[in-house]
A and B are shown apart, each in its own frame.
Chain A
């Protein structure tokens, strides 16, 4: 009755001392985080250190890059993990000079560093040497100052001279007559960009020569908002708004996990079961929408599949509404548990959920009839948008995108939290690496989630009446010790959703960094679509299942 743990025998585990020996002369100090040993290195040895860790110690997953400014220095932190065993973590801390913050780019070792370092440059102001394309990513190019830096003046007007801000289309943008290619703006208002995404595409006829996603249209300073809120209550409503496509509880869990680990809060087992059930319901709802919109991208109009998947998602949302009181922005988790027990009458709720799960296989059969069994859909998706596993790893792709490329990586199993390790379910992996595999992964994950929810319902029904504790005893204010640092991740709907928090002894975090799975996944889009046809590029974008709220935060 419990999930098989992954084969970790082949993955050697290094002690912190061994790693220090491996890095040897590069290490100039230690700065351990709660989750991982941290090694301080010089800003010009980033590539060398990361390469050694990747090639000799097997840390092949650059999960996140956090940048922050202290009173006396800037700092970039590279959070490394192993795809084979994400519980092995290590942090590389790179201090940079306060006056002239320059640090070497990790782009040569991990391709994902490209965007992460651009974000660090944009928001904090660290400059990365040898970076191929160091320009702003979330804020407009004309922005002045770096908003998360200490010296940033929030009241300074963003004056942009007209010559910098004039309409770029006023000039004749037509290329020279010899040019074979056409430049095309896809978005930010385009039917298939799933939000306000702008894709700069260079086309040769119908084929994509080059493609560059341009993000930041939905940047809402979520990190800063969390930095201005208290740990105990005020941060929790915000994660709902990152991946706002019904994946709220999964996001809340990311914050709950990191804050609970930081403040050392024990969550009652009963609450963990409720959390697991709620989170999986959310995953089902999110995947239904992913299926529907992917079908929309392939089929064209508002077709039947889209409506059918919305119908099934709606029913999940009704269950979630009964449980949490809201349909999208749940705010249901609290540090140390959840806010409400199952709704009364409990039998009715359980019955309701079971009814739904019973009808689910019929609904899924319908999707298979209409999508996976459809020859034209196969023609369209098989072997298009190919993302080889090595490339996916280098870009830090996670979630269904990675699992569709044959990477057996799921934090629910590999870095267990909640009640997952005591339940019976499988991690879905497909080896096709194409759009079709990613579609299949999502469809099969819905089945697995249903399986988890079913087991949770059984557990909840039979739970002893006097042990139904939904919240641990948590103090009304939480003040972690000064300079406590932690990075923790959970398996969100789109992949690894991680949060880094640095405490400064107050009841608000000093640095709150979100590692968004969509942000890393979207980076793979050029890899998948260069050389493909426009419709396939659109389909690949759909298969990534991005939510711009989470990409831009």
Chain B
């Protein structure tokens, strides 16, 4: 697990070194360049996921053919779809609350992109893809992710549409109900790792849990505490609003929820934001439960990408088979079930760690 220890050189500094810049200027340029690279990788991934992978996966679950006409494996549909979506008319409803209506589609993807800043994504060749490693990294990433609900309320409220309003309100109710169990569950990981710093959490998972016939099973927290992993998985699905918790959008009930009135570029931004949030959710899962970029043979970054795509696949799998719960049931599960379980998990973890250590 070399290269992931504390004090490791981060991507901005590496870039500054490569360009031969020093001092504050070097840090600024390196940071901007690094952010540009990471942001674009993530956006490219959502670009592949939204118009192409999602359709392919859904089609596989439903015994259909899907996008296979344009380009190899139909991949050029991504280009066609971008042209189509961006070429559409941008319709803004009358009486829309303009600044907030315009800001919402920018806030949503931005909040998700910010979250990636503190995620350690492993090394790719000489580069260590990790933008920042503050001491409160885990707290920061949750803080960034929750900005998304503000965007949803803004969009929902500003659209001057009742369906949008209901979608926005649902989004808030859901996010509050699930954020707390989500973070409390994450706290149990912090107890194990003894730090909020992302690189420490990843490094702690590098230890060997058990050795089975010569194969070392790493001490990923998903193996150490599977209960917390499942709890976190469910809360995460609700947090990013995927089935069975996709009620803020709920197409058959409230049309498309907060994004009902959005079209063209704004719609694309909302759409991107949602996929970025799925990937951010996957990235958090990978980092705190699945050993971050750890894995044999392949470079760390590749493993990291595989892990977040696995999470994306899981959301699509759940989408194919799980019905949506009702809003009151969702709140009930959140406050009465998940919250209690997550606190129980936290207390148990604390006791176990306290006794063993």
Interface string of B174-193 (1 = CB under 8 A from A): 00000000000000000000
State whether B320 touches A300 (Cβ < 8 A).
no
Contact of A299 among B162, B322, B326 (CB under 8 A): B322
Q: Are B255 and A191 in contact, CB atoms less than 8 angstroms apart?
A: yes
- A302 is an interface residue with CB less than 8 A from chain B: yes
Stretch binding the partner chain, chosen from B7-15, B114-122, B246-254, B287-295: B246-254
Determine whether the beta carbon of B325 is less than 8 Å from that of A379.
yes
A192 near B252 with CB under 8 A, answer: yes
Does B211 make an interface contact (CB < 8 A)? no
CB–CB B324/A533 < 8 A: no
Q: Given A533-B327, A535-B253 in contact, is the A376-B162 Cβ separation under 8 Å?
A: no
Given the interface pairs A206-B166, A303-B319, A536-B326, the reply to whether A297 lies near B62 with Cβ below 8 Å is no
Q: Which residues of A contact B249 (CB under 8 A)?
A: 300
Query: Within residues 7 to 47 of chain A, which ones have a CB less than 8 A from any CB in chain B?
Result: none
Tell yes or no: A308 within 8 A of B by CB. Answer: yes
Q: CB-nearest residue of chain B relative to A311?
A: B63
Interface residues of B in 247-269 (CB under 8 A from A): 247, 249-255
A379 touches B329 (CB 8 A): yes
Task: List residues 485-537 of chain A with CB under 8 A from any CB of chain B.
Answer: 533-536
Cα(A307)–Cα(B66), bound, Å: 13
Residue in B closest to A193 when the chains form the complex, CB atoms: B252
From A192, A300, A311, A536, B243 is in contact (CB under 8 Å) with A300
Which residues A375-418 have CB closer than 8 A to chain B?
376-377, 379-380
Q: Residue-by-residue, is B227-251 near A (CB-CB < 8 Å gives 1, otherwise 0)?
A: 0000000000000000110110111
Given A308-B62, A376-B244 in contact, is the A300-B251 Cβ separation under 8 Å? yes
| Cα-based distance from A104 to B136 in the complex (angstroms) | 77
Contact A192 B253, beta carbon cutoff 8 Å: yes
Cβ contact of B62, chosen from A206, A302, A374, A533, cutoff 8 A: A302
A296 at the B interface (CB under 8 A): yes
CA A376 to CA B245, docked complex, whole Å: 11
Q: Chain B, 144-175, contact with A by CB distance < 8 Å: what is the 0/1 string?
A: 00000000000000000011001000000000
Complex partner residue of A380 from B62, B166, B326, CB under 8 angstroms: B326
With an 8 A cutoff between CB atoms, is B61 at the interface?
yes
CA distance A301 to B249 in the complex (A): 10
List chain B residues, Cβ under 8 A from A265. Answer: none
Distance in angstroms from B187 CB to nearest chain A CB is 28
Q: Is B135 an interface residue (CB 8 A)?
A: no
The answer to whether A478 has its CB under 8 Å from any CB of chain B is no
Could you tell me if B328 and A206 are in contact, using CB atoms closer than 8 angstroms?
yes
Chain B positions within 8 Å of A311 at CB level: 63
Question: Is A304 at the interface (CB under 8 A from chain B)?
Answer: yes
CA distance A206 to B64 in the complex (A): 36
What's the minimum C-beta distance from B257 to chain A, rounded to whole angstroms? 11
B325-340 Cβ-contact flags toward A at 8 Å (1 or 0): 1111100000000000
B167 smallest CB distance to A (angstroms): 12
The residues of A that contact B325 with a CB separation of less than 8 Å are 376, 379-380
Instruction: Flag if B62 contacts A300 (CB, 8 Å).
Output: no
- Nearest Cβ on chain A to B3's Cβ, whole angstroms: 41
Q: Is the CB of B323 within 8 A of A377?
A: yes
What is the CA–CA distance of A302 and B163 in the complex, to the nearest angstrom? 20
**Size band of the interface chain A makes with B:** 20 to 34
- Write out the residue numbers on chain B whose beta carbons fall within 8 Å of the beta carbon of A192: 252-253
Cβ-defined contact, B324 with A184, below 8 A: no
Task: Kindly list chain B residues whose C-beta atoms are within 8 Å of the C-beta of A302.
Answer: 58, 62
Hey, what's the 0/1 contact readout for A360-383 against B, CB within 8 Å counting as 1?
Answer: 000000000010001011011000
A301 vs B321: C-alpha distance in the bound complex, in angstroms?
10
Find chain A residues with CB under 8 A from B323 CB: 295, 298-300, 374, 376-377, 380
- Which residues from B are CB-within-8-Å of A206? 166, 327-328
Task: Report B-chain residues with C-beta under 8 Å of the C-beta of A538.
Answer: 252-253
A182 CA / B169 CA spacing, docked (Å): 14
Known contacts A300-B246, A302-B58, A302-B62: does B252 contact A191 (CB below 8 Å)? yes
CB distance from A461 to the nearest CB of B (A): 32
| Cα(A539)–Cα(B327), bound, Å | 14
The residues of B that contact A307 with a CB separation of less than 8 Å are 62-64
**Complex interface residues of chain B between 201 and 249 (CB less than 8 A to chain A):** 243-244, 246-247, 249
Shortest C-beta distance, B320 to chain A (Å), equals: 5
- Find the A residue at minimum CB distance from B247: A535
CA separation between A376 and B330, bound complex, in Å? 11
Once A182-B162, A535-B326 are accepted as A-B contacts, the answer to whether A300 and B252 lie under 8 Å apart by CB is yes
Query: Among the interface residues A308, A535, A536, which one has the most CB atoms of the partner chain B within 10 A?
Result: A535
- Total interface residues on B, CB under 8 Å, equals 30
Pairwise interchain contact A191-B321, C-beta atoms closer than 8 A: no
Q: Mark B310-326, 1 if CB is under 8 A from A, else 0.
A: 00000000011111111
Residues of A within 8 A of B64 (CB): 307
Task: Check A535–B322 contact: CB distance below 8 A.
Answer: no
Q: Which residue of B lies closest to A293 (CB)?
A: B252
CB-nearest residue of chain A to B165: A182
A300/B250 contact (C-beta < 8 A), A206-B327, A379-B325, A380-B326 known: yes
The answer to the question of A190 belonging to the interface, with a C-beta cut-off of 8 Å to chain B, is yes
Contact with B along A292-328 (1 / 0, CB 8 A): 0001111111111011100100000000000000000
Query: Do A535 and B250 have beta carbons less than 8 Å apart?
Result: yes
B324 x A304 contact (CB < 8 A): no
Bound together, the chains give a CA A301 to CA B253 distance in angstroms of 11
Residue of B nearest to A536 (CB): B326
- Structural contact, A535 and B324, CB atoms closer than 8 A: yes
Which A residues are CB-close (under 8 A) to B243?
A: 299-301
Q: Whole-angstrom distance between the alpha carbons of A303 and B62 in the complex? A: 7
How long is the Cα–Cα vector from A307 to B62 in the complex, in angstroms?
A: 6
Contacts of A379 in B (CB 8 A): 325-326, 329
The smallest C-beta distance from B58 to any residue of chain A, in angstroms, reads 7
Write out the residue numbers on chain B whose beta carbons fall within 8 Å of the beta carbon of A300.
243, 246, 249-252, 323-324
Q: Are A190's CB and B324's CB within 8 A?
A: no
Residue of B nearest to A189 (CB): B255
- Choice from A184, A296, A374, A377 contacting B252 with Cβ under 8 Å: A296
In the assembly, what is the distance between CA of A374 and CA of B243, in Å? 14
Asked whether, in the complex, the Cβ of B320 is within 8 Å of the Cβ of A303, the reply is yes
Residues on A with C-beta less than 8 A from B255 are: 190-191
B62 touches A534 (CB 8 A): no
> What residue of chain A has the Cβ atom nearest to residue B324's Cβ?
A300
The residue in chain A whose Cβ has the minimal distance to the Cβ of B173 is A206
In the assembled complex, which residues on chain A have CB atoms less than 8 Å from the CB atom of B328?
206, 533
Contact yes or no, B321 A304, CB < 8 A: yes
Which A-chain residue is minimally distant from B327 (CB atoms)? Answer: A206
Q: Output the least CB separation between B120 and chain A (Å).
A: 34
Known contacts A302-B58, A380-B325; 5 further A-B pairs (Cβ under 8 A): A296-B252, A299-B322, A303-B321, A370-B321, A535-B324
13 inter-chain pairs at a CB distance below 8 angstroms, sorted by A residue, are: A191-B251, A296-B252, A298-B324, A299-B243, A301-B243, A303-B319, A304-B321, A376-B244, A380-B324, A535-B247, A535-B250, A535-B326, A536-B326
A residues lining the B interface (CB < 8 Å): 182, 184, 190-192, 206, 295-304, 306-308, 311, 370, 374, 376-377, 379-380, 533-536, 538
Please list the residues of chain B having a beta carbon within 8 angstroms of any beta carbon in chain A.
58, 61-64, 162-163, 166, 243-244, 246-247, 249-255, 319-329
Task: For the complex of A and B, list the 4 residue pairs with the smallest distance between their C-beta atoms, beginning with the closest.
Answer: A307-B62, A192-B252, A304-B320, A376-B323
